[in-house]
Protein backbone atom coordinates (compact mmCIF):
# COMPACT_ATOMS: atom_id res chain seq x y z
CA UNK A 1 0.00 0.00 0.00
CA UNK A 2 3.01 2.28 0.55
CA UNK A 3 5.76 2.17 -2.03
CA UNK A 4 9.24 3.73 -2.35
CA UNK A 5 9.61 6.75 -4.61
CA UNK A 6 12.38 9.16 -5.50
CA UNK A 7 13.77 11.34 -2.77
CA UNK A 8 11.98 14.64 -2.41
CA UNK A 9 8.49 13.34 -3.09
CA UNK A 10 7.51 14.58 0.34
CA UNK A 11 9.05 18.03 0.45
CA UNK A 12 10.83 19.43 3.48
CA UNK A 13 9.07 22.13 5.44
CA UNK A 14 9.93 25.57 4.09
CA UNK A 15 10.79 27.76 7.04
CA UNK A 16 10.17 31.52 6.99
CA UNK A 17 12.86 33.85 8.21
CA UNK A 18 12.35 35.57 11.55
CA UNK A 19 10.13 38.62 11.15
CA UNK A 20 7.72 40.78 13.10
CA UNK A 21 4.31 39.41 14.06
CA UNK A 22 1.53 41.99 13.93
CA UNK A 23 -1.37 41.39 16.29
CA UNK A 24 -4.89 42.36 15.14
CA UNK A 25 -6.10 45.70 16.35
CA UNK A 26 -3.03 46.47 18.44
CA UNK A 27 -1.00 48.07 15.66
CA UNK A 28 2.15 46.77 17.31
CA UNK A 29 4.80 44.31 16.19
CA UNK A 30 6.69 41.71 18.15
CA UNK A 31 9.29 39.18 17.09
CA UNK A 32 11.16 36.19 18.44
CA UNK A 33 14.45 37.96 19.16
CA UNK A 34 13.77 39.57 22.55
CA UNK A 35 16.00 37.18 24.48
CA UNK A 36 18.52 34.42 24.01
CA UNK A 37 15.98 31.75 24.86
CA UNK A 38 13.53 33.13 22.30
CA UNK A 39 15.68 32.93 19.19
CA UNK A 40 13.97 30.86 16.49
CA UNK A 41 15.33 27.33 16.33
CA UNK A 42 15.48 25.72 12.90
CA UNK A 43 13.94 22.29 13.34
CA UNK A 44 15.41 19.08 11.99
CA UNK A 45 12.19 18.05 10.25
CA UNK A 46 12.37 16.52 6.80
CA UNK A 47 10.37 13.43 5.92
CA UNK A 48 11.55 13.33 2.30
CA UNK A 49 14.63 11.13 2.96
CA UNK A 50 12.38 8.29 4.09
CA UNK A 51 11.31 7.97 0.44
CA UNK A 52 7.78 6.72 1.00
CA UNK A 53 4.51 7.70 -0.54
CA UNK A 54 1.04 6.22 -0.86
CA UNK A 55 -0.45 4.42 -3.83
CA UNK A 56 -3.67 5.71 -5.38
CA UNK A 57 -5.86 3.19 -3.57
CA UNK A 58 -4.52 4.18 -0.15
CA UNK A 59 -4.91 7.87 -0.94
CA UNK A 60 -8.53 7.16 -1.85
CA UNK A 61 -9.04 5.26 1.42
CA UNK A 62 -7.59 8.16 3.42
CA UNK A 63 -10.02 10.56 1.75
CA UNK A 64 -12.91 8.22 2.59
CA UNK A 65 -11.65 8.14 6.19
CA UNK A 66 -11.70 11.95 6.32
CA UNK A 67 -15.19 12.07 4.80
CA UNK A 68 -16.38 9.57 7.39
CA UNK A 69 -14.95 11.75 10.16
CA UNK A 70 -16.85 14.71 8.71
CA UNK A 71 -20.04 12.63 8.79
CA UNK A 72 -19.24 11.57 12.34
CA UNK A 73 -19.44 15.20 13.47
CA UNK A 74 -23.18 15.10 12.73
CA UNK A 75 -23.46 12.90 15.84
CA UNK A 76 -21.33 15.11 18.08
CA UNK A 77 -22.94 15.77 21.47
CA UNK A 78 -25.39 12.91 20.95
CA UNK A 79 -25.65 9.53 22.64
CA UNK A 80 -24.68 7.87 19.36
CA UNK A 81 -21.31 9.57 18.99
CA UNK A 82 -19.20 6.96 20.78
CA UNK A 83 -20.81 4.08 18.89
CA UNK A 84 -20.37 5.86 15.55
CA UNK A 85 -16.74 6.60 16.42
CA UNK A 86 -16.11 2.91 17.08
CA UNK A 87 -17.77 2.00 13.76
CA UNK A 88 -15.60 4.50 11.88
CA UNK A 89 -12.37 3.29 13.46
CA UNK A 90 -13.29 -0.36 12.92
CA UNK A 91 -14.04 0.33 9.26
CA UNK A 92 -10.60 1.90 8.69
CA UNK A 93 -8.61 -0.20 11.17
CA UNK A 94 -6.66 -2.16 8.56
CA UNK A 95 -5.61 0.91 6.59
CA UNK A 96 -4.55 2.80 9.71
CA UNK A 97 -2.52 -0.12 11.05
CA UNK A 98 -0.79 -0.54 7.69
CA UNK A 99 0.23 3.12 7.57
CA UNK A 100 1.44 3.03 11.18
CA UNK A 101 3.51 -0.09 10.50
CA UNK A 102 5.12 1.38 7.39
CA UNK A 103 5.93 4.59 9.28
CA UNK A 104 7.50 2.49 12.02
CA UNK A 105 9.55 0.36 9.63
CA UNK A 106 10.78 3.23 7.47
CA UNK A 107 12.02 5.15 10.52
CA UNK A 108 13.61 2.19 12.27
CA UNK A 109 11.33 2.62 15.28
CA UNK A 110 10.96 -0.36 17.59
CA UNK A 111 7.86 -2.51 17.26
CA UNK A 112 4.70 -0.99 18.71
CA UNK A 113 2.68 -2.79 21.36
CA UNK A 114 -1.07 -3.06 20.80
CA UNK A 115 -1.55 -0.24 23.30
CA UNK A 116 0.88 1.94 21.34
CA UNK A 117 -0.87 1.12 18.06
CA UNK A 118 -4.13 2.25 19.64
CA UNK A 119 -2.41 5.45 20.79
CA UNK A 120 -1.22 6.12 17.22
CA UNK A 121 -4.69 5.42 15.81
CA UNK A 122 -6.14 7.80 18.39
CA UNK A 123 -3.59 10.44 17.38
CA UNK A 124 -4.51 10.14 13.69
CA UNK A 125 -8.22 10.19 14.52
CA UNK A 126 -8.03 13.32 16.68
CA UNK A 127 -6.00 15.16 14.06
CA UNK A 128 -8.80 14.30 11.63
CA UNK A 129 -11.49 15.47 14.05
CA UNK A 130 -9.75 18.81 14.54
CA UNK A 131 -9.40 19.28 10.78
CA UNK A 132 -13.07 18.40 10.16
CA UNK A 133 -14.29 20.67 12.96
CA UNK A 134 -12.36 23.60 11.53
CA UNK A 135 -13.85 23.06 8.08
CA UNK A 136 -17.34 22.90 9.58
CA UNK A 137 -16.64 26.05 11.60
CA UNK A 138 -15.82 28.15 8.55
CA UNK A 139 -16.53 26.58 5.20
CA UNK A 140 -14.20 29.21 3.72
CA UNK A 141 -13.72 32.86 4.63
CA UNK A 142 -11.81 36.07 4.05
CA UNK A 143 -8.35 36.73 5.45
CA UNK A 144 -5.93 39.63 5.38
CA UNK A 145 -2.21 38.92 5.09
CA UNK A 146 -0.08 40.70 7.65
CA UNK A 147 2.92 40.38 9.91
CA UNK A 148 5.08 37.32 10.43
CA UNK A 149 4.03 34.55 8.08
CA UNK A 150 0.45 35.65 7.68
CA UNK A 151 -2.06 36.61 10.32
CA UNK A 152 -5.66 37.01 9.08
CA UNK A 153 -7.40 39.85 10.84
CA UNK A 154 -10.82 39.11 12.34
CA UNK A 155 -13.74 40.81 10.62
CA UNK A 156 -15.42 43.56 12.62
CA UNK A 157 -18.83 42.86 14.11
CA UNK A 158 -20.70 45.77 15.68
CA UNK A 159 -22.55 43.60 18.19
CA UNK A 160 -19.44 41.83 19.47
CA UNK A 161 -16.88 43.03 21.99
CA UNK A 162 -13.33 43.23 20.63
CA UNK A 163 -11.29 40.13 21.35
CA UNK A 164 -8.08 40.62 23.31
CA UNK A 165 -5.33 38.28 22.16
CA UNK A 166 -3.62 36.24 24.89
CA UNK A 167 0.09 36.04 25.45
CA UNK A 168 1.91 32.74 24.98
CA UNK A 169 4.47 30.78 26.96
CA UNK A 170 6.22 27.68 25.66
CA UNK A 171 8.45 25.13 27.37
CA UNK A 172 12.12 25.89 26.66
CA UNK A 173 12.63 22.13 26.23
CA UNK A 174 10.07 22.24 23.42
CA UNK A 175 12.08 24.95 21.66
CA UNK A 176 15.67 23.97 22.44
CA UNK A 177 15.48 20.34 23.49
CA UNK A 178 16.37 18.64 26.74
CA UNK A 179 15.40 15.90 29.14
CA UNK A 180 12.01 15.40 30.74
CA UNK A 181 11.61 12.34 32.94
CA UNK A 182 12.99 9.33 31.06
CA UNK A 183 12.78 10.98 27.63
CA UNK A 184 15.15 13.13 25.59
CA UNK A 185 13.49 15.71 23.33
CA UNK A 186 15.07 17.23 20.22
CA UNK A 187 13.43 20.65 20.44
CA UNK A 188 12.97 22.76 17.33
CA UNK A 189 9.22 23.01 17.91
CA UNK A 190 8.89 26.77 18.33
CA UNK A 191 5.56 28.51 17.84
CA UNK A 192 6.12 30.53 14.67
CA UNK A 193 2.72 31.70 13.45
CA UNK A 194 -0.69 32.58 14.86
CA UNK A 195 -3.63 32.73 12.46
CA UNK A 196 -6.67 34.58 13.81
CA UNK A 197 -10.11 34.31 12.22
CA UNK A 198 -13.55 35.60 13.15
CA UNK A 199 -15.99 32.69 13.15
CA UNK A 200 -18.99 33.64 10.96
CA UNK A 201 -22.27 34.57 12.63
CA UNK A 202 -20.81 34.60 16.12
CA UNK A 203 -18.81 36.65 18.59
CA UNK A 204 -16.13 33.97 18.58
CA UNK A 205 -12.57 34.15 17.29
CA UNK A 206 -10.44 31.14 16.39
CA UNK A 207 -6.71 31.18 17.11
CA UNK A 208 -4.75 28.66 15.07
CA UNK A 209 -1.19 28.09 16.27
CA UNK A 210 1.57 26.75 14.03
CA UNK A 211 4.62 24.98 15.47
CA UNK A 212 7.62 23.86 13.43
CA UNK A 213 7.22 20.28 14.70
CA UNK A 214 6.26 18.24 17.74
CA UNK A 215 8.40 15.64 19.52
CA UNK A 216 6.76 12.38 20.49
CA UNK A 217 8.59 11.08 23.59
CA UNK A 218 9.91 7.89 21.92
CA UNK A 219 8.43 7.53 18.39
CA UNK A 220 9.12 11.03 17.07
CA UNK A 221 10.16 10.19 13.50
CA UNK A 222 7.29 7.73 13.03
CA UNK A 223 4.74 10.32 14.16
CA UNK A 224 6.26 12.88 11.78
CA UNK A 225 5.69 10.38 8.97
CA UNK A 226 2.10 9.80 10.07
CA UNK A 227 1.34 13.54 9.87
CA UNK A 228 2.97 13.74 6.46
CA UNK A 229 1.12 10.77 5.00
CA UNK A 230 -2.29 11.42 6.55
CA UNK A 231 -2.42 15.23 6.55
CA UNK A 232 0.34 16.31 4.14
CA UNK A 233 2.30 18.30 6.73
CA UNK A 234 5.14 17.80 9.14
CA UNK A 235 4.51 20.91 11.23
CA UNK A 236 1.94 20.92 14.04
CA UNK A 237 -1.31 22.91 14.10
CA UNK A 238 -3.47 23.47 17.19
CA UNK A 239 -6.55 25.59 17.85
CA UNK A 240 -8.34 27.40 20.63
CA UNK A 241 -11.38 29.69 20.44
CA UNK A 242 -12.24 32.80 22.44
CA UNK A 243 -15.99 33.41 22.76
CA UNK A 244 -17.18 36.96 23.41
CA UNK A 245 -13.82 37.86 24.96
CA UNK A 246 -15.00 36.07 28.12
CA UNK A 247 -14.68 32.31 27.55
CA UNK A 248 -11.89 30.22 26.03
CA UNK A 249 -12.50 26.84 24.43
CA UNK A 250 -9.83 24.21 23.82
CA UNK A 251 -11.44 21.75 21.34
CA UNK A 252 -9.42 18.53 21.60
CA UNK A 253 -6.46 20.74 22.54
CA UNK A 254 -6.81 20.99 26.32
CA UNK A 255 -4.00 19.52 28.39
CA UNK A 256 -6.07 19.04 31.57
CA UNK A 257 -3.47 18.00 34.18
CA UNK A 258 -1.16 16.37 31.62
CA UNK A 259 2.56 17.11 31.82
CA UNK A 260 5.04 17.51 28.98
CA UNK A 261 5.96 13.82 28.57
CA UNK A 262 2.30 12.77 28.82
CA UNK A 263 1.47 9.39 27.30
CA UNK A 264 -2.10 8.82 28.42
CA UNK A 265 -3.37 5.86 26.44
CA UNK A 266 -5.45 6.26 23.26
CA UNK A 267 -6.58 9.75 24.28
CA UNK A 268 -3.00 10.94 23.81
CA UNK A 269 -3.56 13.71 26.37
CA UNK A 270 -6.21 15.32 24.13
CA UNK A 271 -9.13 16.78 26.06
CA UNK A 272 -11.82 19.41 25.48
CA UNK A 273 -13.00 22.16 27.81
CA UNK A 274 -14.44 25.66 27.88
CA UNK A 275 -13.53 27.93 30.79
CA UNK A 276 -13.66 31.62 31.75
CA UNK A 277 -11.20 33.86 29.91
CA UNK A 278 -9.61 36.96 31.39
CA UNK A 279 -8.60 39.19 28.44
CA UNK A 280 -4.88 39.07 27.86
CA UNK A 281 -4.35 35.87 29.86
CA UNK A 282 -1.36 33.65 29.18
CA UNK A 283 -1.88 30.42 27.26
CA UNK A 284 0.71 27.73 28.03
CA UNK A 285 1.01 26.22 24.57
CA UNK A 286 3.17 23.20 25.38
CA UNK A 287 1.91 21.71 28.62
CA UNK A 288 2.30 18.43 26.71
CA UNK A 289 4.65 17.40 23.88
CA UNK A 290 1.80 17.52 21.34
CA UNK A 291 1.01 21.13 22.25
CA UNK A 292 -2.06 20.58 24.35
CA UNK A 293 -2.75 23.87 26.13
CA UNK A 294 -4.33 25.63 29.07
CA UNK A 295 -4.32 28.97 30.84
CA UNK A 296 -2.48 27.28 33.71
CA UNK A 297 0.99 25.74 33.78
CA UNK A 298 1.33 22.00 34.46
CA UNK A 299 5.15 21.93 34.38
CA UNK A 300 6.06 24.20 37.27
CA UNK A 301 9.67 23.07 37.60
CA UNK A 302 10.64 23.70 33.97
CA UNK A 303 11.65 26.93 32.27
CA UNK A 304 9.24 28.69 29.90
CA UNK A 305 9.83 31.23 27.16
CA UNK A 306 7.41 34.01 26.32
CA UNK A 307 6.50 33.76 22.63
CA UNK A 308 6.88 35.96 20.69
Quick one: pLDDT at residue 48? 62
Task: Give the whole-angstrom CA distance, residue 235 versus residue 17.
Answer: 16
Q: HSE (CB half, 13 Å, CA atoms) of 54?
A: 22
Tens-digit pLDDT profile for residues 51-69: 677 788 999 999 999 999 9
Quick one: pLDDT at residue 21? 29
294 DSSP assignment:
B
Quick one: pLDDT at residue 157? 53
Instruction: Note the Cα 142 to chain centre separation in Å.
Output: 22
CA distances from 80 to 74, 91, 136 (A): 10, 17, 19
* Cβ 266 vs Cβ 89: under 8 Å: no
* Cβ 252 vs Cβ 129: under 8 Å: yes
**Length of the chain as a residue count:** 308
Quick one: pLDDT at residue 234? 84
In the predicted model, residues of the chain with pLDDT beneath 50 are: 1-40, 42, 140-156, 267
CA distances from 216 to 90, 113, 119, 289 (A): 25, 16, 11, 6
Task: Give the whole-angstrom CA distance, residue 241 versus residue 152.
Answer: 15
Instruction: Note the Cα 147 to chain centre separation in Å.
Output: 21
Tens-digit pLDDT profile for residues 15-61: 233 222 233 332 222 334 334 344 445 455 556 666 677 788 999 99
Q: What are phi and psi of 158, to 5 degrees?
A: -60, -30
Quick one: pLDDT at residue 18? 29
Task: Give the whole-angstrom CA distance, residue 158 versus residue 165.
Answer: 18
What is the dihedral sign for C-alpha 237, 269, 38, 232?
A: negative
**3-state SS, residue 8:** coil
Amino acid sequence: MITPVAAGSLAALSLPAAAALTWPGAGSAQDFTDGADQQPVVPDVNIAPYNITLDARTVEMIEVFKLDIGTLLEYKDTAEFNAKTSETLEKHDGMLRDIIEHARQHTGTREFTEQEIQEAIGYIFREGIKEAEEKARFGGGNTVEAGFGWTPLPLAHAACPPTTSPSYKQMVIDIRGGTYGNYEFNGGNALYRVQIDKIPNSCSVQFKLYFYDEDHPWADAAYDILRGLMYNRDHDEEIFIIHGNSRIEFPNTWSSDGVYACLDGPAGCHYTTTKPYVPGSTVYVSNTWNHMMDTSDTNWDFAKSRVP
